[in-house]
Structure 1
Amino acid sequence: MSKAIIKTEKGDMTVQFYDKDAPNTVANFLKLAKEGYYDGVTFHRVINDFVIQGGDPTGTGAGGPGYQIDCELTGDNQYHDRGVLSMAHAGRNTGGSQFFICHSRNNTSHLDRNHTCFGKVIENVDVVDDIRQGDKILGIEVTEE
């Protein structure tokens, strides 16, 4: 199983990816991470008890990598719970680089099978609670593939 460490100003979070449920989404995220795409990018959207969202190099919520990927909505792990990473999009099959991490299961069930869940924070999930709008992703280190 693929893993990475998302390094932030508030601490590091270890993520285990859902390689079987969302192989293309995981591959896209890991490719961007290895290229340094996320380095210095902010969490531009933070909603308490819902999500922290990042991955837009413009910081506006409208940016992306210049291409779109298809949603992957089948599989056993397609539900939004505390620490789950999921692809943000502006409609089905329009994701690219923006992702969010859920604070909890509260207020997230409507996202199930609409946004691709592609991993989960397995260490230091409390960092999610400390992130504020404008906090930076210092880098993402892929530790296992």
Structure 2
Amino acid sequence: MKIAEIHTKKGVMKIKFFEKDAPNTVKNFIDLAEHNFYDGLIFHRVIPNFVIQGGCPNGIGNGGPGYKIDCELTGDNQYHDRGVLSMAHAGRNTGGSQFFICHNRENTKHLDRNHTVFGKVYEGLEVIDQIRQGDKMEKVVITEVEG
């Protein structure tokens, strides 16, 4: 099983992927990470008690990898709660590289089945609360673990 580690100065967030629910979104994220796409990018949108968002190569929320991917909204894990990794987009089927991680369930319910949930932070949840707008992803590492 592959996991992602998002390394920041505030700590490391380890993420388990929901490959059954969102196989194409997971593959896209892994491919970008393995090609160092995310390394050095910032969290350009941080809204307390809502989300931290990153993955824009321009650093302002208007960029992507140069292509778009379809939403995958039918899996069992398509619910936004604390630590969930979800694909940001500018409308259905326009995701690419930008993603967000949720602070809590209370303020993110309206995102369910509108944005593709493709993973969840299982270690380093406290880092989510420490991230501030402009903080960098030093690197995103994909590793293989038993499980």
- Provide the TM-score with structure 1 as the length reference: 0.98
Q: Where does residue 29 of structure 2 map in the other structure? A: 29
Distance 1:35 1:10 in 2: 23
One-letter amino acid of the counterpart of residue 55, structure 2: G
In structure 1, stretches of 5+ residues that fail to align are none
Structure 1 residue 86 and structure 2 residue 91: aligned?
no
Matched positions, count: 145
One-letter amino acid of the counterpart of residue 6, structure 2: I
- Report Cα offsets for 1:14-67 as digits up to 9, x if no partner: 100001000000000000000000000000000000000000010010000000
Distance 1:90 1:62 in 2: 9
- Report Cα offsets for 1:68-91 as digits up to 9, x if no partner: 000000111000000000000000
Q: Where does residue 128 of structure 1 map in the other structure? A: 128
Distance 2:126 2:57 in 1: 25
Q: Where does residue 53 of structure 2 map in the other structure? A: 53
Question: Percent of counterpart pairs with the same letter?
Answer: 70
Distance 2:95 2:144 in 1: 24
SS at match of 2:59: coil
- Provide the TM-score with structure 2 as the length reference: 0.97
One-letter amino acid of the counterpart of residue 3, structure 2: K
- Report the alpha carbon displacement of residue 2 of structure 1 after superposing the two structures with TM: 2.3
The 5-angstrom pairing of residues 11-26 of structure 1 reads: 11-26=11-26
Structure 1 residue 108 and structure 2 residue 108: aligned?
yes
SS at match of 1:132: coil
Q: Where does residue 76 of structure 1 map in the other structure? A: 76
SS at match of 2:138: strand
In structure 2, stretches of 5+ residues that fail to align are none
Structure 1 residue 8 and structure 2 residue 11: aligned?
no
